[in-house]
Amino acid sequence: MDEEARLATPGLSISFPSRSRMSYGTIRDSRMGGDHNAKDYSDRGVSDEAGSPEHTDTESAVNVQKYDYDESRKIGITGATFLILNKMIGTGIFSTPSSIFAATGSVGVSLFLWVIGGVLTFCGLSVWLEFGLAIPRSGGEKNYLERIYRRPRYLATCVLASQMILLGFSSGNALAFGRYVLAASGTGIGDGWAARGIGVAATTFAVGLHAIFPKWGIRLVNILGIFKVVILIFIVFSGFAALAGHLRIPQPNNFHNAFELEVTEDYGGTGVYGYANALLNIIYSYKGWENANYVIGELKHPRKTLSIAAPLAIGGVTILYVLANVAYFAAIPKKDLATSEVLVAALFFKNIFGDSAGARSLPVFVALSNLGNVLAVSFAHARLNQEFGKEALLPFSRFWASIKPFGAPAPALFLHWIVTVIVLLAPPAGPAYNFIVNLYTYPGSWINGFVCGGLIYLQWKKSENWTSPWHTYLPITVVYLLANIFLAVTPFIPPNGAWDADGYPYYVFPVVGVGVLLLGAVYWICWTKIWPAIGGYKIVATRIIDEQGVEAIRYRKVKNQ
């Protein structure tokens, strides 16, 4: 005989079914990091249940949406590895070495920063593995922040939603795709409207493919993932050839006094701000290591898949990144590298293979790599947008959470497309790539810092009953926390040179980044206080997991009392 206890309070709907129909909350007690996980949804006004209980007088059913992904579409170890590779290997390694050397003015320091970037990425991976294997649900840090910061209710989710929706775009990769396509055609146009228009077309293609033909979207991600690795290996071996003297230009001899800090008109002398900016660009190049955490719900055997795929992808990428930078310094003079902006790889090919038509076509391969990154980013961030919709966090939540009509989160993909296109087209004519990169990367330092601080708290506070199949040792978490504090604070320190050397004041991207996070707090006030008071009710999402493990979300209008 089923027995249910129902709690009905403003904005809260929870049911406790009998053991014959095990609830997701019960599953979460053993799988999601301890007893306190079972309270997460009650704290946030989102409940889990396994049955279809009667509605209370204060509730009315709005709709039920099911999210039952076919087993053939779930992602295995190979697919997860390439999903991570595709987001990590994008525009960064082919474009950011220019700005990194320009900031440091030292070959040795630049290479050392790339190694530091790899070490920090592994530290971050350890933290995310501990959370991801304890809370095996799609959404990434959304779930982790909700587990840590349960008071004030919804605040952490709203802040993250603001960052992920407004700044989780593919604009930097799309713009670089346009630049490399134009470079291959022999057009020397910078970050103008032609490159941006091509970027819009690439984003539209990626979003449309994932929305209409989701299986083919994943297949193309895997194919381009292999292609990216081949391109990087080609660059590495070409660099070895350059070191042996096979160049169409005089030897640059960049490794002589490699750790000398040079200051010229084109590079060096930027101070602490420049080093922070360089490290942000490196973090951007490594970004994507957390990609599989966003789609854990679509992984086969999530714990096994994630614990194998993520370290494998990150280890391989770190080695390739360092060797690729050695190749660039072997073939490109310092001044040319510092002023090459996005087209580092294009200049590299020109110096080794000449200016023939065949050599000019090589940037097409880099452009395809950038396209793969656009595909991977749009796939992952759309799933996170969908999670926000599932939990009634967004206006018109049922629409954003829908997987109709092709079994893919088309509305959430469309939301990602809107933001990406706006960020591509909004900046004035002129250099925009570095600004877009910094704007994309910077707010993540704040989010990562709060996640690290939260993990330290969970491990220290015994009453939290935190458990996970993976354990991150305290020094690793502290190193990653301190790195993110450095990246969050130092961009506010004025550079040694001109304040607007990049075409915009140095403080624009940190101010905008912090402003977007604060906008999430403002939205929280509106969503939890103002709108319910005006409308007299709010939509509450109830997450249901049936006996077959199929997830559904029930939306209800709950009247304020």
Which residues have C-beta within 8 Å of that of residue 434, sequence separation ≥ 6?
A: 99, 281, 502
Task: Residue 439: name the closest of 452, 451, 453, 427 by CA.
Answer: 427
Q: What angle do CA 73, 76, 77 make, to 5 degrees?
A: 155
Q: Per-residue pLDDT for the chain (561 aa), expressed as one digit of tens each? A: 433 333 332 333 333 333 333 222 222 333 345 444 433 433 334 444 434 444 444 444 444 555 555 555 678 888 888 778 777 887 788 888 998 999 899 999 999 999 999 999 999 999 999 998 888 877 788 889 989 998 887 888 899 889 888 888 888 888 888 888 888 777 766 667 888 899 999 999 999 999 998 888 888 888 887 888 888 999 999 999 999 888 888 989 899 888 988 888 888 878 888 888 888 889 888 987 887 787 777 788 888 888 888 899 999 999 999 999 999 999 999 999 998 877 788 889 889 988 776 667 778 888 888 888 888 888 878 887 887 887 777 888 788 888 877 878 889 999 999 999 998 888 765 566 777 777 888 898 999 999 999 999 999 999 999 999 889 999 999 999 999 998 899 888 887 766 666 667 878 889 999 999 999 999 999 888 888 888 787 767 676 665 555 555 565 667 876
CA atoms within 13 A of residue 513's CA, in its CB half-sphere: 24
- In contact, 285 and 97? CB cutoff 8 Å: no
For residue 518, the tally of other CB atoms under 10 A from its CB is 12
Q: Is the pTM of this model over 0.85?
A: no
Tokens of 439: 């704007």
Tokens of 331: 């073939």
Task: Residue 374: name the closest of 205, 227, 235 by CA.
Answer: 205
3-class secondary-structure state, position 484: helix
Task: Residue 75: name the closest of 85, 64, 90 by CA.
Answer: 85
Task: Residue 373: name the closest of 233, 234, 207, 173 by CA.
Answer: 173
CA terminus-to-terminus distance, the chain: 32
Q: Give the separation between CA 11 and CA 75, rounded to whole angstroms.
A: 35
For residue 536, the tally of other CB atoms under 10 A from its CB is 10
C-alpha distances (whole Å) from 521 to each of 288, 360, 488, 510, 528 are: 26, 49, 18, 17, 11
Q: Give the separation between CA 129 and CA 123, rounded to whole angstroms.
A: 10
Q: Give the separation between CA 14 and CA 8, rounded to whole angstroms.
A: 7
Tokens of 372: 């793969």
Scan for tokens 């050392």, then name that residue.
112
- In contact, 159 and 514? CB cutoff 8 Å: no
What pairing do the DSSP bridges indicate for beta strands 12-16 and 5-9?
antiparallel
